[in-house]
Amino acid sequence: MNRIKFDYSQVCNFVKKEEISALFPQAAEALKTLKNGTSKGSDFLGWLDLPAAITETELNDIEKTAADLRKRTQVLVVIGIGGSYLGARAVIEALAGSFDNFGQSDMKVIFAGHNIGEDYYHELMTYLSDKEFGICVISKSGTTTEPAIAFRLMKEMLESKVGKAEAGKRIVAITDAKKGALRTLADQEGYKTFVIPDNVGGRFSVLTPVGLLPIAVAGFDIKALVKGAVDMRKECLENAQSVAIEYAAARTALYKKGFAIELLANFNPKLHYITEWWKQLYGESEGKENKGIFPAGVDFTTDLHSMGQYIQQGPRMMMETVISVEKTAHKVEIPFDEANLDKLNFLAGKRVDYVNKMAELGTRIAHVDGGVPNMLIQMPELTAEYIGQLFYFFELACGISGCMLGVNPFDQPGVEAYKNNMFALLDKPGYEEASKAIKSRI
């Protein structure tokens, strides 16, 4: 089959091709440390071989559980935060109909536990009040504040609605194999469980049950998704100058030239949550020790009418990576209009996608002319298999980039700062001294 392609020719006005190729050996060495387990954070390299390690039996079990949830419920509430929901949401939003979010089944998959919005939960509970719903709760510990609050609310509501016994059949827990509050509860209540591997961090977990179960419930082909990742893994681990190495080297070369912000841009609204997933992947992996490229996302052409001015003529510190989908799933032609008041008859008979592609090309040229280096990722189609390729490509390039930067790409110590302050302000037991200290600053 075809593979996604990467083109960095439009950065060569800003950094010489020789400067990029000079980084290939460093990128290859970074990849070597990932493969042999000597990189920083080597305890969390399970994602590297994950696609090839997933067995047919495991995938069948996930599909069987998804089928059972579809029989019992109309709506699945997926509870998780960060990597525990973004990967699944990215795939479902990319493959589902734009106006229904149902996918290939009659199930609706919705998300909770990724915020602490009281109105959000009131509206969610009101929406679920007349629905048959189930819960997929995702947490290694079971004590992360946002998903723990959501699960407490949803669990109580479900048990009140259908009784504890039936609720137990509608709740699936994806958690640690042996320890943690959620594992203890799942064992006590007899929930169906899947394991988050110890050596896979949340933002790299989309190809574990964390992502695969919600995607399967939505009716999409998880085996095709995994197959795409397997294909890209083979390409990138066996090719001395793979697209992952090229991407890592190109963005590193630009970073060394002072381009400290990377915009991931798309011209297909279905890719919005893939951008959100990418932002977490690169932000948590690289933003350490006062280093790292800041990951930002834009949806074109929409954001050309808001952020476009800044991108075109603002401070020259941005690079841009465009995801381009070559072939659409449907065909829509622009009609002829006799009055032609909108002056669009010059487009009559042309496909909407043709206009979109010309907007894409025109934007890339304009941004390069305006001082924004431009990289291009081409996807043949928006399918589960190509999304699987894209995920693995980004994950591997992220690991390589982080190692080249000299940071541990697989931890996130900075995330704890807000949590400690929040717990102190909430008077959580054990935070008494911190509570006094922080309240003295208010």
The catalytic residue among 131, 291, 419, 436 is 419
- The enclosing H or E element of 363 equals helix 352-369
User: Using N-to-C axis directions, what is the helix angle for 243-256 and 384-405, rounded to 10°?
Assistant: 40
Cis amide prior to 383 (ω within 30 degrees)? no
Classify each residue of 36-57 as buried b or exposed e, where b means 16 or more C-beta atoms within 10 Å of its C-beta.
eeebebeebbbbbebbeebeee
φ and ψ at residue 296, rounded to 5 degrees: -130, 160
Classify each residue of 346-368 as buried b or exposed e, where b means 16 or more C-beta atoms within 10 Å of its C-beta.
ebeeeeebeebbeebeebbeebb
The catalytic residue among 284, 286, 360, 395 is 284
Give residues with Cβ within 8 angstroms of 58, minimum separation 6: none
Q: How far apart are CA 271 and CA 279, in angstroms?
A: 13
Cβ pair 234, 398 in contact under 8 A = no
Nearest to 217 by CA among 82, 105, 98: 105
Q: Which of helix, strand or coil describes residue 336?
A: coil
The catalytic residue among 56, 71, 305, 330 is 305
User: Using N-to-C axis directions, what is the helix angle for 222-238 and 384-405, rounded to 10°?
Assistant: 40
Q: Which of helix, strand or coil describes residue 253?
A: helix
Q: Please confirm, yes or no, whether 385 is among the known catalytic residues.
A: no
State how far the alpha carbon of 427 is from the alpha carbons of 143, 148, 193, 303, 433, in Å: 16, 17, 33, 42, 10
Give residues with Cβ within 8 angstroms of 180, minimum separation 6: 139, 140, 141, 142, 143
Give residues with Cβ within 8 angstroms of 46, minimum separation 6: 197, 198, 199, 200, 204
Cβ pair 247, 393 in contact under 8 A = yes
- Two structure tokens written together for 77: 């509430």
Q: Please confirm, yes or no, whether 416 is among the known catalytic residues.
A: no
Q: Please confirm, yes or no, whether 284 is among the known catalytic residues.
A: yes
Which residues are designated catalytic? 284, 305, 419
